[in-house]
């Protein structure tokens, strides 16, 4: 309609202009597509004045009025009132079923379902839409939670059905209850899954709120109550801060997340709901840091089993039985215990522990073992089922170096990067811990940090060459000759000394008795040079 009116006006203006430019020798008006329209000017004027002008006028009035009306609807409570009327009308058309969830049962014990539903409802975004909501400070300092007030209604949606919750409070007794109202026709379809859904959301919320704790096993003393001692777990590592192959990291993350959701699956298979990870790689490659990242990702408590404090197999069994659900059970440096014959828990005790047969009463546990070298481990320990996922933590390559440079020094690129890449290609390898330490100590000067990394990598290459050389000598039986000349030994010691100098940084002065620390002078020289 608007388009037609606009078109008509444009044509009319065009006509007037044409008339002004070419005074009519005849009274035919040429329209843009002149073969279509041939009309008299006066006729057009009449139609325009008495037909289209009034229509346009009322049309404009209608637009303005509806705009104003919409504004009033949105800015005032009229829309809410209209919604309420509409709901009232709808309510009249359906038959509803009501369910009451009282805060206390008949023996005045707290009804756990009430607590769960309350937590669930308060987590819904639509709580904000209720007429009255309480603002309560949360557990964390800057957290504010919305809590539904008495006699408020919340409308939830589940599997296409609408579920109404009314927060009722008895005026005389002061007892609270939540009343669920659903259409009778939806009742059979949604009630059971909806209640289960509330349970799972509640569990998730509780898990997120929970303070993660680190448990360590203490010596087995009879007077002590329980074997675990705990402290709040405050490790800052997250999945994002651990430097490792992005694809691998994402795969581990999705593996962990799918494990969390697999309760039914494990039960169906008749398996203990646990998953075992083996983290293996040289020292300082981030295995322990990764465990902290997992704990922070899942909000699971960490049980760090110190096998040296375990007296025998039954003690190990007791320790496992005293762990809780939703926890990480960690044995660091497992290879160290398996390597020594004299460990208190026997190999079969450790294998049973790994199989999780003691944890028959617990669920949702993640077992993590760390070792430095997989080759020296008995293959039965690593068989599938005992260890589900093997994750390798390698020494730094150029890619992980770049990630470290970005996170530690804020460097995306640098003129020294090609040189670093070249050294990595020669086979030089340092652990992320070593490179990270150099970067942290030299963070005030990224160039100095990179130069130090390059020197450290060069020294590492030379040491490797020296070690290879020494090995060759020993294999050829001439090791004694080498020892006499001190060839390999001196070389390694020298390198080691230089390497230590590069770190830097903090060196114990042997001449001081109080073991105080001071900055290495070479570092000061460096910094002067760099600035």
Ligand X SMILES: Nc1ncnc2c1ncn2[C@@H]1O[C@H](COP(=O)(O)OP(=O)(O)OP(=O)(O)O)[C@@H](O)[C@H]1O
Interface contacts to ligand X, rule CB under 6 A:
242-244, 283-289, 372, 393, 432-433, 436
Residue 100: strand, helix, or coil: strand
> Which partner, Mg ion, ligand X, none, binds residue 284 by CB below 5 to 8 Å per kind?
ligand X
Residue 4: strand, helix, or coil: helix
Q: What ranges in 428-486 are assigned the alpha helix state H?
A: 432-441, 446-475, 479-485
Which CB sits closer to ligand X, 335 or 523?
A: 335
Beta carbon of residue 309, minimum distance to Mg ion (angstroms, whole number):
18
> Which partner, Mg ion, ligand X, none, binds residue 243 by CB below 5 to 8 Å per kind?
ligand X
Which CB sits closer to Mg ion, 11 or 307?
A: 307
Count CB-CB contacts under 10 A for residue 419: 15
Which CB sits closer to ligand X, 236 or 384?
A: 236
> Which partner, ligand X, Mg ion, none, binds residue 354 by CB below 5 to 8 Å per kind?
none
- In whole angstroms, what is the distance from residue 522 CA to residue 525 CA? 5
Determine contact, residues 238/296, Cβ cutoff 8 Å. yes
Residue 144: strand, helix, or coil: strand
Determine contact, residues 519/506, Cβ cutoff 8 Å. yes
Token pair 């014959």: residue: 341
- In whole angstroms, what is the distance from residue 83 CA to residue 390 CA? 57
Burial environment of residue 439 by CB neighbours within 10 A (0 to 12, 13 to 18, 19 or more)? buried
Which CB sits closer to Mg ion, 285 or 463?
A: 285
Beta carbon of residue 288, minimum distance to Mg ion (angstroms, whole number):
3
- The distance between the two most distant Cα atoms of the chain, rounded to a whole number of Å, is 125
Which CB sits closer to Mg ion, 276 or 288?
A: 288
Beta carbon of residue 328, minimum distance to ligand X (angstroms, whole number):
14
> Which partner, Mg ion, ligand X, none, binds residue 154 by CB below 5 to 8 Å per kind?
none
Beta carbon of residue 391, minimum distance to ligand X (angstroms, whole number):
11
Which CB sits closer to ligand X, 372 or 527?
A: 372
Beta carbon of residue 280, minimum distance to ligand X (angstroms, whole number):
9
> Which partner, ligand X, Mg ion, none, binds residue 452 by CB below 5 to 8 Å per kind?
none
Of 80, 87, 57, 84, give the one whose Cα is nearest residue 72.
80
- In whole angstroms, what is the distance from residue 156 CA to residue 170 CA? 23
Of 174, 156, 161, 162, give the one whose Cα is nearest residue 120.
156
Of 381, 394, 385, give the one whose Cα is nearest residue 331.
381
Of 99, 111, 122, 103, give the one whose Cα is nearest residue 175.
103
Of 455, 449, 437, give the one whose Cα is nearest residue 409.
449
Binding residues (CB under 5 A) for Mg ion: these are 287-288
Which CB sits closer to Mg ion, 292 or 381?
A: 292
Beta carbon of residue 345, minimum distance to ligand X (angstroms, whole number):
21
Beta carbon of residue 407, minimum distance to ligand X (angstroms, whole number):
8
Beta carbon of residue 284, minimum distance to Mg ion (angstroms, whole number):
8
Which CB sits closer to ligand X, 6 or 283?
A: 283
């Amino acid at each position: 309609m608007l388009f037609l009116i606009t078109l008509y006006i444009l044509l009319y203006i065009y006509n007037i202009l044409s008339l002004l430019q070419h005074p009519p020798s005849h009274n035919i008006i040429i329209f843009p597509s002149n073969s279509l329209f041939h009309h008299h000017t006066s006729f057009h004027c009449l139609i325009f004045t008495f037909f289209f002008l009034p229509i346009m006028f009322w049309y404009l009035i209608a637009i303005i009025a509806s705009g104003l009306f919409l504004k009033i609807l949105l800015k005032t409570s009229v829309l809410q009132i209209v919604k309420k009327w509409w709901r009232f009308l709808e309510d009249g058309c359906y038959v509803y079923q009501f369910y009451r969830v009282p805060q206390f049962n008949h023996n005045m014990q707290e009804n756990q379902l009430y607590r769960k539903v309350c937590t669930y409802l308060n987590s819904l975004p639509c709580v904000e839409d209720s007429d009255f909501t309480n603002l309560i400070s949360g557990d964390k300092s800057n957290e504010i939670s919305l809590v539904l007030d008495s006699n408020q209604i919340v409308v939830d949606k589940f599997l296409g059905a609408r579920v109404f919750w009314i927060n009722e409070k008895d005026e005389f007794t002061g007892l609270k209850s939540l009343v669920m109202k659903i259409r009778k026709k939806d009742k059979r379809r949604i009630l059971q899954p909806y209640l289960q859904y509330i349970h799972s959301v509640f569990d998730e919320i509780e898990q997120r709120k929970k303070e993660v704790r680190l448990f360590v096993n203490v010596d087995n003393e009879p007077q002590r109550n329980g074997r675990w001692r705990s402290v709040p777990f405050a490790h800052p590592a997250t999945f994002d801060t651990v430097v490792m192959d992005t694809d691998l990291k994402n795969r581990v993350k999705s593996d962990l997340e799918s494990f969390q959701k697999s309760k039914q699956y494990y039960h169906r298979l008749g398996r203990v709901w646990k998953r075992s990870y083996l983290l293996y790689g040289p020292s300082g490659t981030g295995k322990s840091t990764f465990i902290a990242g997992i704990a922070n990702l899942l909000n699971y408590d960490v049980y760090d089993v110190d096998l040296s404090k375990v007296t025998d197999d039954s003690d190990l069994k007791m320790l496992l039985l005293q762990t809780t659900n939703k926890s990480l059970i960690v044995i660091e440096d497992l290879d160290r215990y398996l390597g020594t014959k004299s460990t208190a828990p026997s190999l079969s005790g450790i294998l049973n522990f790994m199989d999780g047969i003691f944890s028959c009463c617990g669920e949702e546990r993640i077992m993590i073992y760390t070792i430095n070298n997989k080759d020296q481990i008995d293959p039965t320990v690593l068989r599938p089922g005992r260890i589900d996922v093997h994750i390798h933590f390698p020494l730094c390559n150029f890619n992980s170096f770049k990630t470290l440079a970005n996170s530690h020094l804020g460097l995306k690129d640098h003129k020294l990067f090609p040189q670093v890449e070249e050294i990595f290609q020669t086979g030089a390898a340092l652990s992320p811990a070593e490179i990270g330490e150099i970067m942290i100590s030299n963070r005030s000067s990224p160039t100095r940090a990179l130069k130090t990394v390059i020197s450290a990598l060069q020294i590492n290459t030379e040491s490797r060459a020296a070690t290879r050389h020494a090995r060759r000598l020993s294999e050829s039986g001439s090791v004694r000759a080498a020892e006499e000349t001190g060839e390999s030994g001196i070389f390694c010691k020298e390198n080691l000394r230089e390497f230590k100098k590069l770190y830097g940084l903090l060196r114990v002065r042997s001449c001081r008795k109080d073991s105080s620390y001071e900055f290495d002078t070479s570092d000061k020289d460096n910094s002067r040079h760099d600035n």
